[in-house]
């Protein structure tokens, strides 16, 4: 994060805490679609995703005064969105079993030939078919452009686990995309 972005977040949060309507509108305008996109990867039904987004904003507005470090705004917003989506899934009895923690592989090297991201539709198709914990780490890293440290904060897991999940998620997505590509050859 640049110093300019950090300062912007600090000023925006300060204005929100003072109850400035224009600041709250700016916060929503800047983050609504990013958060919706992330939530949409966690919640299958689009209408439910919109409801989760609304619930997320209620939590954000209620908790904005408790945000101690405005520089962590992006991770804080994604963490609230994630927790709200998980609560929604639990309420609706849509459960997916996730391993408690991936083992962080030693000496992982990124392969030069990464996943085939030629077509956004293919990527979305692939994302929908990988596990939830892999889907969310890929979404935060590639599509929301968060660092591994920020992702660790959002998911409340160690950085090594984030790296491990990224590694396995990329492999899983690549396998799905390659399998789909072979179908149409």
- Residues 114-124 have pLDDT tens digits of 444 456 777 77
Total H helices, total E strands in the chain: 8, 0
Q: Going by C-beta distance under 8 Å and a sequence separation of 6 or more, which residues neighbour residue 108? A: 163, 164, 167
pLDDT, position 126: 84
Q: Are 138 and 166 in contact (CB under 8 A)?
A: yes
Distances (CA, A) of 23 to 2, 15, 69, 135, 163: 21, 6, 17, 31, 35
Question: Residue 107: pLDDT band by 50, 70, 90 thresholds?
Answer: very low
**CA angle centred on 59, ends 55 and 60, rounded to 5°:** 115
Give the separation between CA 155 and CA 150, rounded to whole angstroms. 9
Domains of the chain (ranges; CATH) run 3-91 (1.10.1740.10), 120-183 (1.10.10.10)
Residue 184 has pLDDT above 90, yes or no: no
pLDDT at 143: 76
**pLDDT (0 to 100) of residue 93:** 52
Q: Which has the minimum average pLDDT: 13-27, 60-74, 93-107?
A: 93-107
Pull the structure tokens for residue 60.
């954000």
* Most confident range, picked from 5-19, 44-58, 128-142: 44-58
Q: pTM for this one? A: 0.69
> What's the confidence (pLDDT) of residue 185?
67
Q: Which two tokens stand for residue 129?
A: 């078919």
In the DSSP assignment, the letter for residue 78 is H
């Amino acid at each position: 994060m640049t110093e300019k972005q950090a300062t912007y977040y600090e000023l925006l949060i300060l204005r929100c805490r003072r109850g400035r309507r224009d600041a709250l509108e700016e916060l929503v305008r800047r983050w609504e679609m990013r958060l919706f996109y992330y939530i949409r990867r966690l919640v299958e039904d689009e209408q439910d995703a919109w409801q989760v987004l609304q619930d997320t904003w209620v939590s954000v507005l209620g908790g904005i005064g408790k945000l101690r470090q405005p520089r962590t705004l992006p991770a804080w917003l994604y963490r609230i969105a994630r927790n709200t989506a998980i609560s929604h899934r639990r309420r609706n009895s849509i459960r997916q079993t996730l391993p408690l923690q991936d083992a962080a592989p030693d000496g992982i090297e990124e392969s030069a030939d990464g996943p085939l991201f030629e077509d956004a539709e293919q990527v979305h198709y692939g994302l929908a078919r990988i596990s939830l914990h892999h889907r969310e780490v890929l979404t935060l890293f590639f599509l929301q452009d968060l660092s591994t440290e920020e992702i660790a904060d959002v998911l409340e897991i160690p950085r090594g686990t984030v790296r491990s999940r990224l590694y396995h998620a990329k492999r899983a997505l690549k396998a799905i995309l390659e399998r789909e590509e072979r179908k149409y050859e």
